Amino acid sequence: MRLSRYLALAGVASRRKAEQIIASGRVAVNGAVVTLPQHRVEAGDRVTVDGREVEPSREKYYLLLDKPAGYLSTASDPRGRPTVLDLVGNIPARLYPAGRLDLDSTGLLLLTNDGELAYRLTHPRFGVKKRYRVRVKGVPDAATLERMARGMELEDGRTAPAEVRLIRRLPGGALLEITLIEGRKRQIKRMCAAAGHPVVELRRTGLAFLTAAGLKEGQYRRLTVDEVKRLYRLVGLLPPHRL
């Protein structure tokens, strides 16, 4: 299989992130550094990342976390800041977030070591919806909401169409619901700033059909077998026989 997929199945990172790790020269196969994500890994090959041997985990984990503010959506941080993995206890697998939330943002985050599923849940080609409640400064008018929904020109290109609606007016601002199928870095904050209504508070309330019902901030639960199978079907994968 491709080296990038091997790393994803080993729980090192999503496939896209794994490609960056490989390109940076941190991965070796049988002792030789490899920088091409498409390099083929054969049975019996020894793969290391930063000198540590990795291999695909037989057991898959799927944790749904209600992320509080103040935690990074990464597996580790060189500056020693708290990450979302500090919230999930001793799980015997290398988990990583499927997608990200900013340090000060809250809400749903899926942690898993299933690289193929994580890749498809986060890639816009598969159209998985992520829903957010967003408090902004000022009250956007109908024309502004329509402009945000059609797509906006940002420094990294035009955003895909989104669902944007005004939930209610607030003192000095408004509460919006925004649903995206893509997830660029700080996309909602940049969209709202470009529209003239900076974000005050952002919370992810939905990921596909999943919600935070029954969870408090900082708590997590394992997905049910039926939920995992449903996610697989949603992104065009055959559900695994064993979960």
- Check residues 184 and 66 and name the one with the higher pLDDT: 66
Residue 174 pLDDT: 98
Q: In angstroms, rounded to a whole number, what is the distance separating the alpha carbons of residues 131 and 73? A: 17
Residue 243 pLDDT: 65
Q: In angstroms, rounded to a whole number, what is the distance separating the alpha carbons of residues 86 and 71? A: 9
Structural domains present in the chain: 3-54 (3.10.290.10), 62-124+209-234 (3.30.70.580), 129-207 (3.30.70.1560)
- Check residues 191 and 92 and name the one with the higher pLDDT: 191
Instruction: List pLDDT tens digits, range 200-237.
Output: 999 999 999 999 999 999 999 999 999 999 999 999 99
When pLDDT is averaged across residues 44-73 and rounded to a whole number, the result is 91
| pLDDT over threshold 70, residue 110 | yes
Instruction: List pLDDT tens digits, range 2-18.
Output: 999 888 878 788 778 88
Q: In angstroms, rounded to a whole number, what is the distance separating the alpha carbons of residues 2 and 168? A: 49
Residue 92 pLDDT: 77
Residue 242 pLDDT: 66
| pLDDT over threshold 70, residue 241 | no
130, β-bridge pairs: 180, 207
Nearest one of 70, 107, 206, 195 to 187, comparing CA atoms: 195
Instruction: List pLDDT tens digits, range 60-106.
Output: 899 999 999 999 998 888 888 999 999 997 787 888 899 899 999 99
Q: Per the residue annotation, which of 45, 50, 102, 156 is the catalytic one? A: 102
Per the annotation, the verdict on 102 as an active-site residue is: yes
Whether 177 contacts 131, CB under 8 Å: yes
Give percent of the chain with pLDDT exceeding 70.
98
When pLDDT is averaged across residues 173-178 and rounded to a whole number, the result is 98
